[in-house]
Chain A
């Protein structure tokens, strides 16, 4: 017990306010992209320092340099007064620099416990002490207040839960400097709160925190100072008390945004899709309709069954009961082919696993659903292939040198734009967007919401899943709340307040098993 506690709570080595890490002219060039221009910045001991900026501004690049994941092009990093080479992740960890990366980089096939101790497994005479590790890991997880089992295989958890495990992992190794790269992207408010508690506690223990996020309210809630990056340049650093939302956005994108949540109300048309008492793995007895011209929002905690519901709707997973009506007619949707033929499109939740072919060009990814349309007979029209891809790149401001660059070389938010962009030219009637704006910056979010409106005005319907309540709240014409695989409440546009919806998504007490209709 005591040993865990010590590992968890490294003794503060510096008094607050002193510089712990300093960047001097730090710079990174990728072939074709000057991702980080020479940057000077000093981080103070036990501060929470937020970094904000557009997609592709260079935030993750900075983190990769500090954690030894990527070599820098030039410049120095001064750690506690001495220059540090930071050539390997191991070296960074030895100094006490740890990170929770934007994309979870853990082993999906290993257990949670094995992941937490990866690289420093407990062993006796060369034999892994598996059970001891699970016990230890469980203690750490419980101590952090996360409600997760340590013995399950990591891949069985949701992305959000995996992200929490990654955070837990980073805290166990004598950390003095801990970086979070968009940790809340896949978290719901409840899980995010758990994480914030953890972050504040670490700060109290003298750990310096770097916090990257596209959500301004989180920055104002947590941070002491905030730095803004634009196009690889540090635009400025502010004390959080001396700045505001508008100023930061202005610094980030060099213009102001009056309204992020662009919402137009259209008179709903005919019913496109009706789900009647649909059940399947992870959801039960769900009924809903989607009409042309409306956005149907699905809100709930991670694991509430929303993604399972839409993937079943889309024919990817089996339905055990229930019926689907498409434009009034009963249809069988047994495969994604059936769904696509009817006119559905799905932008899935996980861009890495379901959304992108990472080692293929951006253009190919964008055109994948429409190759049939842009080829005549057997041959692809290369002119159309080019114009279609370039149009999405321009519309969504996907930051890439060319459409031939590999998807893996794009920043996280720009990859997300491909996941959405590939369906926009497809001409579907029902768009299912599962967490469409994860990791997308404010400016582009506004752009995407405007595109939603364009789709609606063309007579399409949208199912929008989000774990970020403001997004569904401001956009959905009809808002369904999911809890543990059931649809537990339905609201019209702004007919309930955040409080009420949150309670419905969380509440265990009001739940009357089987009583929901």
Chain B
């Protein structure tokens, strides 16, 4: 039976890669359809625009995926992005060197993630609750700090970054690569990545096998907070202001991208390339719908339907294996 077994096993072994390819095919298909349907889609300008739009959600989705793999959820990322724009804007306006301002902002993201870890591990709060609490409080703190106003950033170099390109590719997209490659290595080739999966699958069994479950949970939320703060910096650079109400609903887009990319909300299933592709699929749909003058209300409905369809087919394939 062994030979038969091995040949039949083959498709399953590359299941992850296969699913990634399917998503990639879907993305390319969307691009082809849109290029035919509307001439403005394939313009260099629009493509860079699309990449910029997708990049920030993509980075959020990577952090979110780490959390979801452990069986949790991080609802705070949108608020963290908004909060980070405020922090980085205030620091830069106060004359702090850009590099240092960014570093401090990232550390704030780390601290927020650690706080989530603390709430879950030490206080025993469900991830949904603690991150929901941060979601509302952070917006409040940001509004207090800014008195409800936007802070415009007086630093051209900072803003130039997100508008320029390198080798013809927008800098923001380079940032996805900057985050994506280490994230991929971390998740699929380091023991910490394995621990994320094992904790999401069975925390007790992992614990008895010597996995530091608490540290793993801290790590997941910290990375998610870090990704969110980084996106906050990028967003501040792109729009040139710090405003705590920015990035409204981005947490849901990040979760949607992650799930479209094959992450299971039950934990223990997920990858890095999936959520990245998921984010760009969502961005493409929004962008295409705009170009085709589809009513913005309809865009939301289409996105919802698409999530159901993709996740449904993914589930079918997993069961049908």
Residues of A within 8 A of B (CB): 31-34, 231-232, 314, 316, 336-337, 340, 346, 348, 353-360, 364, 367-369, 371-372, 375, 378-380, 382, 401-402, 404-405, 422
Q: Are B8 and A368 in contact (CB under 8 A)?
A: no
B43 at the interface (CB under 8 A from A): no
**In the complex, which of the residues B2, B9, B189, B269 contacts A404, with contact meaning CB atoms closer than 8 Å?**
B9
Q: Are A405 and B9 in contact (CB under 8 A)?
A: yes
Q: Are A359 and B269 in contact (CB under 8 A)?
A: yes
Q: Are B194 and A372 in contact (CB under 8 A)?
A: no
> Given A340-B210, A368-B198, A375-B190: A357 and B12 within 8 A (CB)?
no
Output the nearest chain A residue to B4 by Cβ-Cβ distance.
A34
Output the nearest chain B residue to A355 by Cβ-Cβ distance.
B205
- What's the minimum C-beta distance from A211 to chain B, rounded to whole angstroms? 27
29 contacts between A and B (CB under 8 A): A31-B9, A32-B5, A32-B8, A32-B12, A33-B1, A33-B5, A231-B1, A337-B212, A346-B208, A354-B204, A354-B205, A354-B208, A357-B197, A357-B198, A357-B206, A357-B268, A360-B197, A364-B194, A364-B197, A368-B198, A371-B195, A378-B192, A379-B189, A380-B194, A401-B2, A402-B13, A404-B9, A404-B12, A422-B209
- What's the minimum C-beta distance from A427 to chain B, rounded to whole angstroms? 12
Output the nearest chain A residue to B201 by Cβ-Cβ distance.
A357
Closest 7 CB pairs of A and B: A357-B201, A371-B191, A401-B5, A32-B8, A368-B209, A340-B210, A401-B9
Output the nearest chain B residue to A29 by Cβ-Cβ distance.
B8
B211 at the interface (CB under 8 A from A): yes
A356-B202, A369-B209 are known; give 6 further A-B pairs, CB within 8 A. Answer: A354-B208, A360-B198, A368-B206, A368-B209, A378-B185, A401-B5
Q: Are B208 and A380 in contact (CB under 8 A)?
A: no
Q: Are A357 and B205 in contact (CB under 8 A)?
A: yes
Output the nearest chain A residue to B1 by Cβ-Cβ distance.
A34
**In the complex, which of the residues A346, A354, A375, A401 contacts B6, with contact meaning CB atoms closer than 8 Å?**
A401
Residues of B within 8 A of A369 (CB): 209-210
- Cα distance, A404 to B9, chains bound together (Å): 9
- What's the minimum C-beta distance from A73 to chain B, rounded to whole angstroms? 13
Q: Are B12 and A375 in contact (CB under 8 A)?
A: no
B321 at the interface (CB under 8 A from A): yes
Q: Which of A34, A346, A401 has the most CB of B within 10 A?
A: A401
Contact bitstring B6-19, A, C-beta under 8 A = 1, else 0: 10110011000000
Residues of B within 8 A of A357 (CB): 197-198, 201-202, 205-206, 268
**In the complex, which of the residues B1, B190, B268 contacts A379, with contact meaning CB atoms closer than 8 Å?**
B190
The size of the chain B interface, using a CB distance under 8 A, is: 33
> Given A336-B210, A359-B201, A368-B211: A402 and B4 within 8 A (CB)?
no
Q: Are B191 and A380 in contact (CB under 8 A)?
A: yes
Q: Which of A32, A314, A348 has the most CB of B within 10 A?
A: A32
Output the nearest chain A residue to B199 by Cβ-Cβ distance.
A357
- Cα distance, A346 to B210, chains bound together (Å): 10
- What's the minimum C-beta distance from A272 to chain B, rounded to whole angstroms? 18
- What's the minimum C-beta distance from B21 to chain A, rounded to whole angstroms? 18
Contact bitstring B198-222, A, C-beta under 8 A = 1, else 0: 1001101111111110000000000
Residues of B within 8 A of A (CB): 1-2, 4-6, 8-9, 12-13, 185-186, 189-192, 194-195, 197-198, 201-202, 204-212, 268-269, 321
- What's the minimum C-beta distance from A313 to chain B, rounded to whole angstroms? 13
Q: Are A360 and B6 in contact (CB under 8 A)?
A: no
Residues of A within 8 A of B13 (CB): 402, 404
Output the nearest chain A residue to B212 by Cβ-Cβ distance.
A337
- Cα distance, A422 to B208, chains bound together (Å): 11
Residues of A within 8 A of B191 (CB): 371-372, 375, 380
Q: Are A356 and B207 in contact (CB under 8 A)?
A: no
Output the nearest chain B residue to A351 by Cβ-Cβ distance.
B205
- What's the minimum C-beta distance from A368 to chain B, rounded to whole angstroms? 4
- Cα distance, A340 to B202, chains bound together (Å): 19
> Given A336-B208, A357-B201: A402 and B321 within 8 A (CB)?
no
- What's the minimum C-beta distance from A53 to chain B, rounded to whole angstroms? 15
- Cα distance, A358 to B198, chains bound together (Å): 9
Q: Which of B5, B205, B211 has the most CB of A within 10 A?
A: B205
**In the complex, which of the residues B186, B208, B212 contacts A316, with contact meaning CB atoms closer than 8 Å?**
B208
- What's the minimum C-beta distance from B37 to chain A, rounded to whole angstroms? 39
- What's the minimum C-beta distance from A232 to chain B, rounded to whole angstroms? 8
- Cα distance, A232 to B5, chains bound together (Å): 14
Residues of B within 8 A of A360 (CB): 197-198, 201, 268
Output the nearest chain B residue to A356 by Cβ-Cβ distance.
B205
Residues of B within 8 A of A371 (CB): 191, 194-195
Output the nearest chain B residue to A357 by Cβ-Cβ distance.
B201
Residues of A within 8 A of B201 (CB): 357-360
Q: Which of A316, A348, A368, A378 has the most CB of B within 10 A?
A: A368
- Cα distance, A336 to B211, chains bound together (Å): 9
Q: Are B198 and A364 in contact (CB under 8 A)?
A: yes
- Cα distance, A354 to B189, chains bound together (Å): 25
- What's the minimum C-beta distance from B123 to chain A, rounded to whole angstroms? 19
- What's the minimum C-beta distance from B298 to chain A, rounded to whole angstroms? 37
- What's the minimum C-beta distance from B214 to chain A, rounded to whole angstroms? 10
**In the complex, which of the residues A340, A355, A358, A379 contacts B185, with contact meaning CB atoms closer than 8 Å?**
A379
Residues of B within 8 A of A401 (CB): 2, 5-6, 8-9
Residues of A within 8 A of B5 (CB): 32-33, 401
- What's the minimum C-beta distance from B138 to chain A, rounded to whole angstroms? 31
- What's the minimum C-beta distance from B199 to chain A, rounded to whole angstroms? 9
**In the complex, which of the residues A316, A358, A380, A402 contacts B202, with contact meaning CB atoms closer than 8 Å?**
A358
